[in-house]
Amino acid sequence: MTPGRHRRTTNRLLVPLLLLGLSFGSASIAQAGPGGAGLGAAADATVVDSTGQPGRTVALTFDDGPNAGETSSMLDLLGEHRVKAVFCLWGQHVRENPELVRRIVAEGHVLCNHTMRHENMSTWSPADIRANLRATNEVIHEAVPGAEIRYFRAPYGAWGETPSVAADMGMQPLGWSLSVADWNRPGTDVLVRRLMGGISQGGVVLLHDGGGDRGQTVRAVSRVIPRLRDEGWRFTLPARSG
């Protein structure tokens, strides 16, 4: 066989092998996701409130943003400590701050639909719920085309028919195991005590980066993350299915 023919034959063999390798690599990536669930795992109507992982794991979630002040500060803080979190986005705020949604995604955090205007949907029909969630997703995708929106969280925890609608749209309903009522702004020291005393293994923590002045929340989280790390806690994401 001539050298030229040998190279052509080798190339013909290598191309299918490379394509096969890429296929296996893509499949492996699709299986890797938060809480041990794959990114492609189907959502269900169970409201998840844990990481789904054993031991000292905890997930941080932030509602009602994006907010030009506190969301930026929270992203700086999370980046400094290499913590990934879930941001539950208020559609109207996304319209006002699309660049922050792009930053949230670019820095590896996870998106959650939190309705267009923080509506209580507990008595809404499935059709009306779907229209609102679809509109919110569209606004998010205007800011970040193609971004994955893994979760839905009902404002006020007023679920009604929303879990089944959200799951049908591919979003896992996301609850929480600890809320420290940071919207009342009780003081940074109080929030630190509530967080340190209330976090449980596998817990999902509800906090806020929007909907008002959230400076106390930013300062509390800045103090709590290193303390939890020193105690052996690991920060992760909520489970992807119930």
Q: What is the pLDDT of residues 65-114, one digit of tens each?
A: 999 999 999 999 999 999 999 999 999 999 999 999 999 999 999 999 99
Burial of residue 103 (CB within 10 Å: 0-12, 13-18, 19+) is middle
Q: What is the pLDDT of residues 149-190, one digit of tens each?
A: 999 999 999 999 999 999 999 999 999 999 999 999 999 999
CA angle 54, 58, 63 (to 5 degrees): 145
CA distances from 153 to 44, 90, 219 (A): 13, 10, 24
Contact (CB, 8 A) for 88 and 153: yes
Query: Which residue's entry shows tokens 């409130």?
Result: 49
Contact (CB, 8 A) for 186 and 213: no
Residues 95, 68: Cα–Cα separation, whole Å: 12
CATH class label, 57-235: alpha beta
Contact (CB, 8 A) for 34 and 237: yes
The whole-number pLDDT of residue 241 equals 86
By three-state DSSP, how is residue 204 classified?
strand
Q: Are strands 149-152 and 110-113 parallel, antiparallel or unpaired?
A: parallel
Positive or negative, the CA dihedral 150, 155, 156, 157 is: negative
**Sequence-distant (≥ 6) Cβ neighbours of residue 213 within 8 angstroms:** 69, 70, 185
Structure tokens at 202: 């596998």
Domain ranges of the chain: 57-235
The whole-number pLDDT of residue 23 equals 34
CB atoms within 10 A of CB 65: 28
Q: What is the pLDDT of residues 33-69, one digit of tens each?
A: 333 333 445 899 999 999 999 999 999 999 999 999 9
**Sequence-distant (≥ 6) Cβ neighbours of residue 22 within 8 angstroms:** none
Catalytic residues: 63, 208
pTM of the model: 0.84
Q: Is the pLDDT of residue 20 over 70?
A: no
Contact (CB, 8 A) for 208 and 62: yes
Indicate the average pLDDT of the chain: 87
